[in-house]
């Protein structure tokens, strides 16, 4: 398999390079490929069997004031990749987000639930999904993920450990619920999806189970042998930010089973292995 990774210098992109060991891989970071440039994208995609799109504008709060820039990367860039893949017959695996939903549900979001984003970032990612599926419907995999942490970039788990080294106590919101997801697990799952020749379409790539940010934070400390009681709960009103966050971001995983594949494992098991392997550190 000849694979191209866009956004290859990010946290997920770097883990994907490891997950693709044994395959012929072209890894292009933001400095190497501007996904908003359709001509450059077509040239980069040529000669590859599959493209893993990890390129994204992820500054959620900044997107509220500069939605056009976020749209250029998350929507137009994804559409460019899909069109280039359609032209060559390559498959596209593009990473999306739980933010395409409004967060008002009380049961896991199914893959076919209508998109209803509540902020600019979510709107641009939802548009990217729609454009990619329209341009290359038979060869596009949309994989929505959430609450990513890993070895190769700034993330919530690492921030909690840095706070543990600097503060005696601090508070974390307990009224936002989602699925902490280890990028190494997700990377392996993206590769499995392609290697299994699973049907194109929408998949939810999150570790199983659910937790609030408060519960996740305490678990990070506990797994690291630190006193989790140092973290106290608070609510979102204490951390007002420009972009509203979904209160409930739990995603269902039925598409994996329909494709004959197992969904990702429970987030606590993944976190244990991530900490043990040294992938989570402050």
pLDDT of residue 238 exceeding 90, the answer is no
Distance CA 113, CA 109 (A): 6
pLDDT of residue 82 exceeding 90, the answer is yes
- 16, 33 Cβ separation under 8 angstroms: no
- pLDDT for residue 21: 96
Torsion over CA: 147, 153, 157, 159 (sign):
negative
Q: What is the mean pLDDT of residues 246-264?
A: 97
Confidence of residue 282 (pLDDT cuts 50, 70, 90): confident
User: What's the pLDDT tens digit per position in 180-196?
Assistant: 999 999 999 999 999 99
- 79, 128 Cβ separation under 8 angstroms: yes
- pLDDT for residue 53: 98
121 is catalytic: yes
- pLDDT for residue 58: 96
Confidence of residue 163 (pLDDT cuts 50, 70, 90): very high
pLDDT of residue 74 exceeding 90, the answer is yes
Query: In 184-208, which positions are buried (b, 16+ CB within 10 angstroms) versus exposed (e)?
Result: bbbbbbbbebbeeebebbbbbbbbb
The per-residue pLDDT of the chain, averaged, comes to 97
Q: What are the strands of the beta sheet with 2-6, ordered from one edge?
A: 24-28, 2-6, 50-53, 91-97, 140-145, 201-204
- pLDDT for residue 239: 84
pTM (whole model) above 0.85: yes
Of these residues, 121, 141, 149, 248, which one is catalytic?
121
- pLDDT for residue 240: 87
- 217, 160 Cβ separation under 8 angstroms: yes
User: What's the pLDDT tens digit per position in 30-66?
Assistant: 999 999 999 999 999 999 999 999 999 999 999 999 9
- pLDDT for residue 169: 97
Confidence of residue 124 (pLDDT cuts 50, 70, 90): very high
Our CA dihedral for 221, 98, 20, 253, rounded to 10 degrees, sits at 90
Other beta carbons within 10 angstroms of residue 240's beta carbon come to: 7
Instruction: Write down all domains in the chain, each with its CATH number in brackets.
Output: 2-154+180-208+250-265 (3.40.50.720)
- pLDDT for residue 108: 98
For a pLDDT cut of 70, what percent of the chain falls above it? 100
Backbone angles phi, psi at 197, to 5 degrees: 55, 45
Distance CA 265, CA 17 (A): 21
């Amino acid at each position: 398999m000849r694979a191209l990774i866009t956004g290859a210098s990010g946290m997920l992109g770097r883990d994907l390079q490891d997950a693709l060991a044994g395959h012929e891989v072209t890894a292009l970071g933001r400095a190497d490929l501007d996904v908003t440039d359709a001509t450059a994208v077509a040239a980069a995609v040529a000669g590859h069997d599959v493209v893993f799109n990890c390129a994204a504008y992820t500054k959620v709060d900044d997107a509220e004031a500069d939605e056009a820039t976020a749209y250029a990367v998350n929507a137009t860039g994804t559409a460019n990749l899909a069109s280039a893949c359609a032209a060559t017959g390559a498959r596209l695996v593009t990473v999306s987000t739980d933010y395409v939903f409004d967060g008002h549900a009380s049961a896991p979001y199914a893959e076919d639930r209508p998109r209803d984003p509540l902020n600019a970032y979510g709107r641009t990612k939802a548009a990217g999904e729609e454009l990619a599926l329209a341009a290359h419907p038979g060869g596009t995999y949309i994989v929505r993920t959430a609450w990513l942490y890993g070895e190769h970039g700034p993330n919530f788990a690492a921030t909690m450990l840095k706070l543990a080294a600097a503060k005696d106590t601090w508070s974390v919101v307990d009224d936002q619920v989602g699925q902490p997801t280890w990028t190494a697990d997700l990377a392996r799952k993206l590769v499995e999806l392609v290697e299994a020749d699973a049907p194109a379409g929408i998949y939810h790539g999150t570790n199983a189970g659910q937790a609030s940010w408060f519960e996740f934070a305490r678990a990070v400390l506990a797994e690291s042998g630190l006193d989790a009681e140092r973290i106290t709960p608070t609510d979102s009103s204490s951390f007002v930010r420009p972009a509203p966050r979904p209160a409930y971001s739990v995603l269902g995983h039925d598409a994996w089973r329909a494709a004959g594949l197992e969904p990702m494992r429970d987030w606590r098991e993944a976190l244990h292995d991530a900490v043990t392997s040294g992938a989570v550190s402050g």
